[in-house]
Amino acid sequence: MSVRKLPEHASTGQLRAQAKELRRAYAGGSPVAAARVRAVHPQAAGEISLRDAQLVIAREHDFPGWRDLVAAVVAQQSGGTDLHRWFGVELNNGTWDVLGNGLSELSPQIEREQALYAAYASTYHWMQAGTVANHGRGEYMIASVAVAIGLLDVAARHAARYAELIEAHPAAFADWDRAFAAEARARVAARSGEAGAPELKAEAARAIEAVADPEDRRICAERLASPPW
């Protein structure tokens, strides 16, 4: 396995994108991707997880694991930067990656725990470095992870907190925040078997229609359509 030097201005976003691309190439049958994966996972077959692909990227840069690679990038970038903001962004992006890759109640326990703790950690860092809107969106992410892994009481608390922050600071939030808050409330109600869940989902759909920007509206609609319900 060839070793790649860590770039002088390394970015975890770029490295994460490389892992995603490797995963897609491997799933598509690329011989080069297969050779890279098998250098780290000799028994790999079929699909690999994003975590597996990240491990390959880390090993290719001569680090024992993804966390070690990320730590090196943090050390490289830390001079004069706001680490609260940096960690807030990185943990947020990583958590949404995990959610997008099908995190559920059936996922391994370690993956469920790491996703939930990362969502909490991201929100903490944004509370130190960001705005009330960043705080609220962190509450939404925690709720999204919790509902995906079946912790409905946890999801309900954080969905409610998101709505509370929007109500208390309306000027700080965008129209799509209100749509996401409605979706979170409806999703928790549906997963909990509440009688009013269909009406809450209809309210969420109406909130999405009220989002002014077409791209924001599309993202909200995709989130409403995504599982679990």
Same domain, 72 and 99: no
| Residue 7 maps to a domain | no
Q: Give the C-alpha separation, 141 to 161, whole Å.
A: 12
Q: Which residues contact 96 (CB under 8 A, 6 or more apart)?
A: 141
- Examine the pLDDT at 80 and tell me if it is beyond 60: no
**What are the DSSP calls for 8-30, one per residue?**
TT--HHHHHHHHHHHHHHHHTT-
Same domain, 142 and 182: yes
Q: At what angle do helices 12-27 and 83-100 cross, to 10 degrees?
A: 10
**85-134 pLDDT tens trace:** 888 988 999 999 999 999 999 999 999 999 999 999 999 999 998 999 99
- Helix/strand/coil percent split, the chain, to 5: 75, 0, 25
Q: What pLDDT score was predicted for residue 1?
A: 66
Q: Span 198-224, mean pLDDT? A: 97
- Domain boundaries, position 44: 12-77
Q: Span 71-98, mean pLDDT? A: 82
With beta carbons less than 8 A apart as the criterion, state whether 142 and 115 touch: no
| Residue 181 maps to a domain | yes
Q: Give the C-alpha separation, 104 to 123, whole Å.
A: 21
Q: Span 154-166, mean pLDDT? A: 98
Q: Take residue 84 and report the two structure tokens written for it.
A: 């609260």
Same domain, 96 and 185: yes
Q: At what angle do helices 152-168 and 175-192 cross, to 10 degrees?
A: 150
Q: Three-state SS for 210?
A: coil
What mean pLDDT, rounded, does the chain reach? Answer: 92
Same domain, 117 and 67: no
| Residue 56 maps to a domain | yes
Q: What pLDDT score was predicted for residue 81?
A: 59
Comparing 3-7, 165-169, 187-191, the range with the smallest average pLDDT is 3-7
Same domain, 152 and 207: yes
* pTM confidence score: 0.72
pLDDT category of residue 197 using cuts at 50, 70 and 90: very high
Total of domains in the chain: 2
